[in-house]
Structure 1
């Protein structure tokens, strides 16, 4: 029974496998027929598409050929038109060139004709020049016979005449130009300087350093001298000042070139006289106290001067040197007051000219700073002032103004010129300075001697305290035109050789007289 079951199962499986194989074979055949049918349809479709494409390509080919033919025809037309235009342009250029050639030929013919005419005229000119030279030579020969001069003598005569005429014209022009320039410059300078002077309030007589100490009585002289002169020796040794005790009643004279030491001695001596105790120990103490007082006064005076001048940024050592000028005089004029005056005047003139007044005021205040040290250092106060200003880092404009304020170097800035003018104004104003008779006479004699050194000067006289010199010239040696040149030369010589306050007027007088006597 079990065997039958297995047989049945096997038969069933075999039947299933057979059925599957039959079905696979039938399906494969069916797909093959279907594929063959589909391929046949696709080939027909492809043939149709290719046929349509060929037809379309043929149509487009015909269209492209037609378009190409049209484009070729159009381009050919344009090229032919452009060639025609260029051919016409070439023809026009040829005609123009032909016309120019004809014109040039005509001009060449005209130029040849003119050249021939010019050659003829040139020949005529040469012939006439030869005739003129011959005529000129004959005229020169005739002129030499008539005048009695050779050609060289005549040239010399004409040159001398021309030189005299030119001298006259030069003198006239120079006088006119100088007069005009002087009038314009003097007018502007007078207005600026007068304005500055009016605005500057200064003492009429400058203060001078006092070197005489009054005594309450003549007995005080003996106490100051001391036993065997020990007191006076102590004072002179500690201060460096000479005490002159003579027959002058109730007074002692202090002699010293250094004004600060003289001031220390004066203050110390006044304190000793007031105290009454005069002995070497007390003298040393009093002198040291007086020295501190003078140092404090120097500092205060320097700060006051800087404050009054309206200047800032000055080195403290320069401030102290300014204070030392309080005890320095020049021709009786206090140097610190003079420096302040110069600072005011220079600043005001700078303001009138429309420039910055600060540099002018600074240079004016410091222009005589060298006088504070000229008793201690060799050299002029100008050189000392320049060195001190450089040492304490003053700016170049101030240093140049200090260097140029006495004309040692040429003033190259407006500030330097203003300091020169302000210095002259402050020194030359009435009552500012005094001058001893000996120096005054020497200055006048030197001025007259300088003027007499010029050729043609007969006499000269310095008048108005040396502010004018009148010069009498020989009329046969100096004519009217040469007077102008002579006056200018004398002015140049005075400016270069002499030192003087203010200005000097050179007045030249030429007088011709004819004298006869009726008998």
Structure 2
């Protein structure tokens, strides 16, 4: 019993001692944490004081820099004041010298005046005033002329631009080919004919090359001569519409196409008058005007050029307050003479003016036509307008191409060269000049003579005509006999 009590006492004492140790450790830990927080607070306070000190130091440096800059500016300003003071001193000295020189000049002038009579002094004064006034007037006049010229140039440009912008016409340039649409691919076989007899008859008769391509429901007519090409187009359209194509029908359709050329000319002339807004034109002038639908100048269709020029001339005349009808009429007829240049000697301006005068056209219209290339003096403002409108229509982009005119002249020269030979009645330059078909008079050239003539023509072309590649010469001798059974 006594031992048990002793053990319990010892256990209690040990438990108390353990509790005391735990409490002591907790107090020590709390004291260490409080000490750590106090040290951390002291460290933060020290860093804050160091940062504040650094900031004050930086402010002090910035202030020192500002003071140094102000000092430099003050020194520069002081030097500037010194320089200005020196300039003022120099100006005062120069002014004093000028005053002295003026005083001397005045003294000399007074001395001269003292020796001059009142009349002489008055005359000199009047002369000086007149010279000064004349000089001022010349200066003002030159300024006025420059302003007037500038304003006139600006207005002229505006009028011309407006006239061009109002004409939305497409390019009137011509080509050397025409496409004919076909109703079906089978029609190509009819055009060619058995062993090609139909197409050979068509080409020999019209002088136009027929190009047939696979996969295209159309054929192409090629010729440098727009009149031949137009007649061939009318002929082929009639044959395609009829559907029955053979050499005899080709000849009949060709004859009808040639006979109908007059009506086509007149219709084209009337259409041009309507489009240009011109009326009261004699039928003879209408017919000649319509012929120009088949004429070109540097690749530009002449009739389309005349209509366009007429419209431009009317716009310009309206802007300038000129006679619109006179300008419109003169512009429409200004190249009328090109219908006669192949038949009569003289320039197209002179030929056209003479034709118009013979058919009762107004004298001012005749002058506008004859003067549009400065061959005669212009007698009216409208004549000048016609010349300007002609230049605008010809010079606009895409209007003309010199290569087409060169090509046409080349083909015409080739035909003229071959036509010089005896017995030749007709010459057709075809395939862009690579072939020449020569039709001869059967009474003058026999079968053997055709071969000799072909060689002679080939030698003549080789000698007198420059060309690339080769030219095939084909001589055709055809003898026909007609009789009527009654």
* TM-score after normalising by structure 1: 0.44
* TM-score after normalising by structure 2: 0.46
